[in-house]
Structure 1
């Protein structure tokens, strides 16, 4: 019986680039993992079942996802902003009155082309939430017993 020798192909000249690509993907995954650790409601927000025609909620979730993955996890200021926006969108999902108010107030927001669109939308959402919280503490709902 004769055995043939199988020749292995040597590494190509692009092998080092594959290793670099794997390291870059690994770094990106670690970055995303760090960010998601700071967002306790991330999967609740992303997997929220909204109505088919509710484009507003779909766009709001898309803005949230874009903002969360665009930040630098080493910046404390951005991490606090992500935690706050995570809390706000969790309230948006859970509270119908807040959702209605958020939709109404965001329709009034005006942003120019020169400015950073994503940052300004996030700042507007945070401002609307703060206004809502102030108004909510002033209004006291008294239920009536029949």
Structure 2
């Protein structure tokens, strides 16, 4: 399980190759790549700035990945989340999950993203034509996370 919070961009192919490298038990790798959009809530977005609490953020991401590994058969996982000022089309986040079977890999990847969107301590500020604004969590993200809660 690898967690990185960084300013630098990353290469999707390199990261996925390293995740699965030299492990013949892996039968599936599922990844999610999040990008900065140029439009949000009907407003043009020229840039997004992401802030975080360094130690707290890494711990939260590690905990989310550990929860996924406890629920599904996960051989390995990777979470990379960028911080700083990002422009439309820039990569923000990569979540990749390796498993013996695709079902576990898909479920664990989706779970990690749903929890990351609502439980990881990141703050996003968008630059729009009407000025800067902080982005609140969406109700749809909360609903996505709640579907994973065990009764």
Normalised-by-shorter TM-score class: under 0.3
Return the TM-score normalized by structure 2: 0.27
* Structure with bigger RCO (C-alpha 8 Å, 6+ apart): 2
More helix by share: 1
